[in-house]
């Protein structure tokens, strides 16, 4: 095994352990052991078995799917727990992305300032930016929820869809805020000096040698670890509160608001709470996305790309099930990415039907996702993984 | 023409529930027309009247599901007219619904556990930072819920989804739900509707037991006259959005005005 493959394998290890923990059943200690062994084997086998290019693609695929998993978890805390039909996921995603960008980038100076404008640039570290993204998105969610959560079901959907569009237009038109219609560039990638030559000065020589064969193109392997950790933290935190008396109240409000109110629950506050929690998570997803793609602009946050595909993910995986939210994100992102290859391969056949059909492959992809959604709603409305019957994990397990 | 016998049931301390001149209009329809009544502590007060008399509307106005256009609702002499439903609940008033509104995707046990007010785990940060406290409370609440389930004979269904219960079992669950809150006053909206004779007998025994042993006051809407005559004293008759009369079951049964309200109201107009 060459050093470059070994170094890449070392980055794959942690995400695979986390995946194993999510998938394997059984007692905690046994599960951890199983996950570590399985992850070690897979991490070593994958670089040997797959060509390097494919492995890099797989890593960037998983990174993007992980970002969608965060979004999907955020939506689950709104739709799955409390039944909010939030069609404005893109709005909170955008707020998170631009917030983190503003907090972590450097204010443009000199000649650059003529081309690039932004409200402020604080050069905060990555994690602080992510946290601020969550906080600001949660705050925006709170402000919006006061008027909007008086609405229910499809009316709420229309209102949130509109708000997400308003947010997108603000970022498109307000040049002073985040460079308006032009992209905001140069969003720092956390620890990208690991892959630079020479590597970060504070790095111990042994680690630097270990990483030496890797080039900046391999940065995605490191970012995959970052995304996996953030997905894990969000999943655990959300799972904890969803499976608690708090989650029980949310489910009660979702099932039957009047009865929940007559059981002494403040329905309005509960609804706002879960909306704000979801907004926070979506904001975090935005930040993770911004630092991954480095350059963002308003066009990234359109409803198709950032709202409806997230809905399909959650519906497919299983509304109300946090594992389902993650599973759905990976499954739909696989369909979406795979469709590109399939349409590419099928282009001779498409050309046979009509000369300009291959150039419209992008629309065929969307059609595929739409058909998928229709299929889910018709044949398996509860999704792949069902919601669990018992809500509270704080209930004693004995008896 | 209204027969009043307030003096007969007057207490020195304020009644557990008092409704004063309540008015509620739905468009042109006056559902409650200066309705006034009192419910004395420790009674099982029956509320009867022909369909459309405003009984359920009265319940909705008392429990804060909508604001009356005028008038006041008091409990123990305190004004609760403008309180939202959860505020009314916190004053010790529980209600059940005519059509049971169980939380269908939760188990029977958790339907009951939900009711207990001020649980530490209802603040989500406690679930992260004080799990021990939440664990301990959950165990206590679970034990209490099992006791209540035992009382209404639903123990064998504790882990069943509430949505899968039969109509009668849902009615029992509704009653059990109110018991988790340790209320002072329970408003029951047709507790025996769609319930078979055996279950109904158990239901009325439970209500009587709770009044006797726990001192819970009941106000119940019911169309089953046998049940009302056996269980309730006094009985309040409502017609056309106001109180027509109030008295012992025997008096009500023999009152010509009541007969007229039922027969005249329902069949005379047809």
Residues of B in contact with A278 (CB under 8 A): none
Question: Can you tell me the distance from the alpha carbon of B21 to that of B58, in angstroms, rounded to the nearest whole number?
Answer: 11
Q: Are residues B96 and B109 part of one domain?
A: no
DSSP A252: H
Q: Could you tell me what percent of chain B has a pLDDT over 70? A: 93
Query: Which A residues 151-180 touch B at CB under 8 Å?
Result: none
Mean pLDDT of chain A: 92
- A150 contacts chain B (CB < 8 A): no
- A260 contacts chain B (CB < 8 A): yes
Whether B132 is in a domain gets the answer yes
Q: How many residues does chain B have?
A: 270
A175-198 average pLDDT score: 88
A63 to A59, A133, A293: CA distances (angstroms):
6, 19, 11
Under DSSP, is residue B19 helix (H, G, I), strand (E, B) or coil? strand
Q: Are residues B133 and B78 part of one domain?
A: no
Q: How many contacts, defined by CB atoms under 8 Å, are there between A and B? A: 114
Residues of B in contact with A250 (CB under 8 A): none
Instruction: Provide the pLDDT for residue B86.
Output: 94
A136-164 average pLDDT score: 93
Q: Least CA distance to A270: which residue of chain B? A: B122
Q: Which of A255, A267, A391 sits opposite B104 (nearest CB)?
A: A255
pLDDT bucket at A384, cuts 50 / 70 / 90 = very high
Question: Can you tell me the distance from the alpha carbon of A312 to that of A314, in angstroms, rounded to the nearest whole number?
Answer: 6
Q: Are residues B75 and B13 part of one domain?
A: yes
Kindly write down the DSSP assignment for every residue of A143-163, as one continuous string: HHHHHHTTS-HHHHHHHHHHH
pLDDT bucket at A363, cuts 50 / 70 / 90 = confident
Fold topology of A50-379: ABC transporter involved in vitamin B12 uptake, BtuC (1.10.3470)
Q: Least CA distance to A237: which residue of chain B? A: B128
Q: Are residues B30 and B13 part of one domain?
A: yes
Q: Is the pLDDT of residue A254 over 60?
A: yes
- B107 contacts chain A (CB < 8 A): yes
Q: Which of A240, A265, A396 sits opposite B86 (nearest CB)?
A: A265
- Across the interface, whether the CB atoms of B131 and A266 are under 8 A apart is answered no
Query: Which A residues 276-305 touch B at CB under 8 Å?
Result: 277
Whether B174 is in a domain gets the answer no
**B124 min Cα distance to partner chain A (Å):** 6
Q: Which of A240, A273, A387 sits opposite B105 (nearest CB)?
A: A387
B153 to A338, B172, B203: CA distances (angstroms):
55, 9, 10
Under DSSP, is residue B55 helix (H, G, I), strand (E, B) or coil? helix
Question: Which has the closest alpha carbon to A243: A134, A326, A322?
Answer: A322
Question: Can you tell me the distance from the alpha carbon of A284 to that of A229, in angstroms, rounded to the nearest whole number?
Answer: 13
Whether B170 is in a domain gets the answer no
> Structural domain boundaries of chain A?
1-49, 50-379
Q: Are residues B75 and B198 part of one domain?
A: yes
Which tokens belong to B205?
């025994």
Residues of A in contact with B120 (CB under 8 A): 245
Whether B254 is in a domain gets the answer yes
- Across the interface, whether the CB atoms of A263 and B181 are under 8 A apart is answered yes
Q: Are residues B107 and B96 part of one domain?
A: no
Instruction: Provide the pLDDT for residue B264.
Output: 66
Considering only residues A306 and A398, tell me which one the structure prediction assigns the higher pLDDT: A306
- Across the interface, whether the CB atoms of B89 and A262 are under 8 A apart is answered yes
Residues of B in contact with A260 (CB under 8 A): 103, 114
Which tokens belong to B89?
């609940």
Which tokens belong to B57?
């509307």
Q: Least CA distance to A394: which residue of chain B? A: B135
**CA within 13 Å, CB half, A336:** 22
Give backbone dihedrals phi and psi of A108, rounded to 5 degrees, phi first: -60, 140
| Element of type H or E holding B155 | none
**B239 min Cα distance to partner chain A (Å):** 26
Question: Can you tell me the distance from the alpha carbon of A344 to that of A349, in angstroms, rounded to the nearest whole number?
Answer: 10
Q: Which of A255, A261, A264 sits opposite B103 (nearest CB)?
A: A255
- B66 contacts chain A (CB < 8 A): no
Which tokens belong to A190?
């956390």
Structurally, chain B folds into a number of domains equal to: 2
- Across the interface, whether the CB atoms of A241 and B124 are under 8 A apart is answered yes
- Across the interface, whether the CB atoms of A248 and B113 are under 8 A apart is answered yes
Q: Are residues B134 and B96 part of one domain?
A: no
- A391 contacts chain B (CB < 8 A): yes
Instruction: Provide the pLDDT for residue A215.
Output: 87
Q: Are residues B107 and B94 part of one domain?
A: no
Q: Is the pLDDT of residue A270 over 90?
A: yes
Kindly write down the DSSP assignment for every residue of A85-134, as one continuous string: ----HHHHHHHHHHHHHHHHSBPP-TTHHHH---S--B---HHHHHHHHH
Question: Can you tell me the distance from the alpha carbon of A399 to that of A122, in angstroms, rounded to the nearest whole number?
Answer: 55
What are B224-234's pLDDT values in tens digits?
Answer: 888 898 899 89
A184-188 average pLDDT score: 91
Domain with B206 in it: 6-101+181-268
- Burial profile A107-133: b = 16 or more Cβ within 10 angstroms, e = fewer: ebeeeeeeebbbeebeebebeebbbbb
Q: Could you tell me what percent of chain A has a pLDDT over 70? A: 99
Q: Least CA distance to A250: which residue of chain B? A: B122
Q: Are residues B119 and B84 part of one domain?
A: no
Instruction: Provide the pLDDT for residue A370.
Output: 86
Radius of gyration from C-alpha coordinates of chain B: 19
CATH, residue B41: 3.40.50.300
Residues of A in contact with B165 (CB under 8 A): none
Q: Are residues B91 and B199 part of one domain?
A: yes
**A397 contact partners, CB below 8 Å, separation of at least 6:** none
A226-235 average pLDDT score: 97
Interface predicted TM-score (ipTM): 0.87
- Across the interface, whether the CB atoms of A262 and B95 are under 8 A apart is answered yes
* Beta strand residue intervals within A125-240, DSSP E: none
Instruction: Provide the pLDDT for residue B12.
Output: 64
Instruction: Provide the pLDDT for residue A269.
Output: 94
- Across the interface, whether the CB atoms of A261 and B97 are under 8 A apart is answered no
Instruction: Provide the pLDDT for residue A100.
Output: 97
Question: Can you tell me the distance from the alpha carbon of B237 to that of B244, in angstroms, rounded to the nearest whole number?
Answer: 5
Question: Can you tell me the distance from the alpha carbon of B193 to that of A192, in angstroms, rounded to the nearest whole number?
Answer: 70
Instruction: Provide the pLDDT for residue A212.
Output: 86
**CA within 13 Å, CB half, A37:** 7
* Beta strand residue intervals within chain B, DSSP E: 17-26, 29-39, 44-48, 70-75, 78-79, 93-95, 185-189, 217-221, 235-239, 242-247
Cβ contact B252:B245 at 8 Å? yes
Question: Can you tell me the distance from the alpha carbon of B30 to that of B23, in angstroms, rounded to the nearest whole number?
Answer: 7
Which tokens belong to B130?
């004080």
What are B166-205's pLDDT values in tens digits?
Answer: 888 898 899 999 999 889 999 999 988 878 888 888 888 9
Question: Can you tell me the distance from the alpha carbon of B60 to that of B66, in angstroms, rounded to the nearest whole number?
Answer: 6
pLDDT bucket at A398, cuts 50 / 70 / 90 = low
Spans in chain B with pLDDT lower than 50: 1-11, 266-270
Q: Are residues B186 and B61 part of one domain?
A: yes
A358-365 average pLDDT score: 82
Q: Is B76 left (phi over 0), alpha (psi -120 to 50) or beta?
A: left
- A69 contacts chain B (CB < 8 A): no
B117 to A14, A262, A263, B57, B96: CA distances (angstroms):
42, 11, 8, 26, 17
Q: Are residues B193 and B94 part of one domain?
A: yes
Whether B173 is in a domain gets the answer no
């Amino acid at each position: 095994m060459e050093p470059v493959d070994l170094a890449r394998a070392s980055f794959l290890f942690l995400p695979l352990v986390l995946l194993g923990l999510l998938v394997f059943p059984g007692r905690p200690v046994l599960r951890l052991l199983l996950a570590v062994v399985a992850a070690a084997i897979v991490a070593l086998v994958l670089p040997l078995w797959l060509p390097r290019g494919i492995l890099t693609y797989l890593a960037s695929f998983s990174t993007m799917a992980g970002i969608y998993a965060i979004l999907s978890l955020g939506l689950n805390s709104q739709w799955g727990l409390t039944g909010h039909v939030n069609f404005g996921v893109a709005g909170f995603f955008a707020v998170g992305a631009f917030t983190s960008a503003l907090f972590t980038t450097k204010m443009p100076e000199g000649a650059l300032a003529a081309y690039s404008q932004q409200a402020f640039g604080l050069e905060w570290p990555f994690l602080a930016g992510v946290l601020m993204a969550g906080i600001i998105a949660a705050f925006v969610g709170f402000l919006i929820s006061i008027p909007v959560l008086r609405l229910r079901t499809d009316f709420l959907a229309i209102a949130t869809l509109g708000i997400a569009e308003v947010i997108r237009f603000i970022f498109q038109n307000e040049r002073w805020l985040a460079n308006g219609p032009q992209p905001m560039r140069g969003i720092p990638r956390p620890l990208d000096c690991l892959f630079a030559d020479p590597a970060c000065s504070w790095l111990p020589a042994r680690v630097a040698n270990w990483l030496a064969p890797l080039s900046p193109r391999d940065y995605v392997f490191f970012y995959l670890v970052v995304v996996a950790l953030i997905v894990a933290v969000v999943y655990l935190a959300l799972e904890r509160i969803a499976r608690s008396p708090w989650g029980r109240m949310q489910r009660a409000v979702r099932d039957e608001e009047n009865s929940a109110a007559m059981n002494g629950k403040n329905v309005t506050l509960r609804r706002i709470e879960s909306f704000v929690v979801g907004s926070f998570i979506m904001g975090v997803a935005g930040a993770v996305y911004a630092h991954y793609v480095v350059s963002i602009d308003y066009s990234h946050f359109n409803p198709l790309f950032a709202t409806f595909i997230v809905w399909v993910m959650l519906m497919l995986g299983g509304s109300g099930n946090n594992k389902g939210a993650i599973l759905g994100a990976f499954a739909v992102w696989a369909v979406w990415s795979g469709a590109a290859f399939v349409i590419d391969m099928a282009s001779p056949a498409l050309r046979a039907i009509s000369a300009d059909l291959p150039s419209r492959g992008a629309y065929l992809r969307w059609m595929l996702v739409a058909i998928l959604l229709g299929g889910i709603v018709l044949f398996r409305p509860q999704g792949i993984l069902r919601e669990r019957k018992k809500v509270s994990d704080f209930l004693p397990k004995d008896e | 023409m209204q027969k009043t016998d307030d003096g007969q049931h007057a207490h020195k301390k304020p009644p557990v529930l008092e409704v004063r001149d309540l008015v509620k209009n739905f468009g042109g329809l006056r559902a409650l027309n200066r309705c006034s009544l009192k419910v004395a502590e420790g009674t099982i007060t029956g509320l009867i009247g022909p369909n459309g008399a405003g009984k359920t509307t009265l319940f909705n106005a008392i429990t804060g599901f909508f604001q009356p256009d005028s008038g006041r609702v008091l409990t123990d002499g305190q004004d609760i007219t403008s309180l939202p439903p959860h505020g009314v609940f916190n004053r010790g008033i529980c209600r059940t619904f005519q059509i049971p509104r169980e939380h269908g995707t939760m188990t029977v046990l958790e339907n009951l556990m939900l009711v207990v007010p001020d649980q530490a785990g209802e603040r989500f940060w406690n679930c992260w930072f004080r799990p021990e406290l939440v664990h301990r409370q959950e165990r206590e609440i679970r034990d209490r819920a099992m006791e209540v389930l035992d009382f209404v004979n639903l123990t064998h269904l504790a882990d069943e989804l509430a949505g899968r219960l039969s109509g009668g079992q849902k009615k029992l669950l509704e009653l059990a739900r109110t018991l988790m809150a340790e209320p002072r006053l329970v408003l029951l909206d047709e507790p025996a509707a769609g319930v078979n004779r055996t279950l109904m007998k158990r239901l009325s025994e439970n209500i009587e037991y709770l009044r006797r042993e726990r001192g819970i006051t009941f106000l119940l809407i019911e169309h089953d006259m046998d049940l009302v005559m056996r269980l309730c004293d006094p009985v309040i008759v409502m017609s056309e959005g106001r109180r027509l009369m109030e008295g012992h079951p025997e008096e009500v049964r023999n009152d010509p005005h009541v007969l007229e309200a039922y027969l005249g109201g329902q069949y005379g107009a047809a």
